Structure 1
């Protein structure tokens, strides 16, 4: 049976192409949604870009017919702008204020009541990313759904970058001797290039080894940088050992690190970047940046030059650099960085149009990037550069993103089959006992 989907504003602002995601059903956009989209189109952020794209898509559809009646879509469905059914009579005793959300609910409810009076009337479904709008819809007897088409993964089942394997003693001894284990017949689950494998002896609880699947997928090899000390930092757990391997490998230009606060993502990435930039000379510069998304209420405009404005946002990076350089006095780190000249702290705002060759690029808090933003970043990477994206997909401050549709998860899932990328999900917090307990309990 054909259905009618009424779209909330946040669905269009999250994914402008959402109007093509409902197969051969009818998509209805209330007039108040167009007003909300219009109010956002002058924004200079991702929301403003999506508002402008929605406006262009609808304007293009206008050329195919009368939008207040219905216009066919390329997927077999239809779309129409709903100018009627705005009566607030059905909701005035339940929701007193005529907010935009309540107006959208009124349109969906009136459409649903009209369809119920018809023979073979179609179900009316309100689609919204706003949980409270869906709760309100349920309260007035209206069917509602979240928009799930933009999800990269389901049920938080993101690719971890490693798996366990049980082998016999003979195979374990062979791996220790020749540092290689043929993969055919060994792994029952699908594997990916540069995926780590924790091998355990099926008959012995104490014997184990860590290997990495080669880029052709034919064998598991011994780690190249096992037990490597990086700028004075040693790995404290298995996943940190895996992360160091990826960070130091010249043949893996894209690395993604996922983990809770305190798992060592930023510290390891900075240490590996400093080693390869300053000591080994593999890269000309170490570029560090992070999205400017506040936690809690925004503190507003900041005084000073670009570097001074960025300092509050980049302070976590400087905290890790102070630890790596073992600075004790105020201003000592600034003097060191000024003398080195090869460490650059940049804002994502100025990344468009740039080409960044021969540099080690670190993007912290990448979970707050949208799919479009992360695409913009990766397409800036020049020849000979390495980029590291890291963050915690459970700590998202962006209002239109969640653990299953953010830019970091998008990159992890889309690149897991590629030979040039590697991913590790760090599990154990190493900042302190208190930080580890807080990450687990809070």
Structure 2
């Protein structure tokens, strides 16, 4: 029995590592849902009644593992993933949260949503769709797009899983070598740091949890072994505080209840007695008391939710921000990478709603500097951005916001673009520089 299987069979009462959030991405029918189904099935993370239902549906044939994630009726009818499906499983040493992202271009926005909070991305590559014998191996556009989006969204670890090698077993080694070289060449050109390239068969289970008995030429880790080694994202704990207010609670009876201002700390930490500055008002106060998980606390760090009680009453509501005094300079103009997700193109001068943390503000795109060609990876001139295009823009805000570069902090440097007429989520802005 392998060490991994022994670990799966051991009790999971001592999970010592932080949970890893990862998504599967790639083109349509690359096998993302089947891969997740294989992980759940082989790691015994399926409920007995769910397994019985799958076996009855299979009627004696092989179980369709993709049905473990494709839960919507429309997904089962069409055989594609539409919405992001989240699944959970654990081994003795770690918990995992999986996001199965759609591969179809129409649902790229769902992939962006899943990637925004992920620690790793497993980008699947269907080798049966690639002419691996060509002098210059061409990757699928959606493979390139999803890998680029994962990089732009600051997903720390990107893994390429070359799937369906079982379909070409006789030539698996040279086929994998050719596609691996193409992936590494693309990654170098795009500035993507690749954690690993793994040959897998999601259908058969090769190199997913256990090593393939057929592909003895591969000596690297299985996908699950690799996922155990990947680090979870951890925001900066030292330095200045930055905290978006998500909820204002009133505790206690009588005419003067205590107001507790709740939010998840973006970076830094807060202690009882610290001075904090509120935005947009700019007023300062002292932290008189702190709460964490419903209990009093002396300090709270980045990544945790904190409830602040101030020494004096300030006009604070959902959408405001707290920071260490003097550490943040609100801005009304910034340059950013824009991933456009709407069928209506992004237009110069048109007003949109932006959401930063929990605050809504009107804004307009004042300049489109360029569009990124996902094939050549070169910037090209553009006057608008169409659906699924990525470009660099300058944005003018109606009211100032405490922005930071997305590379420094994912919470403070990300904004959602919403069309004011249709209320559709139209794009994702990743701040590069605030003016």
Give the structure-2-normalised TM-score. 0.25
Greater RCO, 1 or 2 (C-alpha within 8 Å, sep 6+): 1
- Higher relative helix content: 1
Give the structure-1-normalised TM-score. 0.24
- Higher relative strand content: 2
Bigger Rg, which one: 1
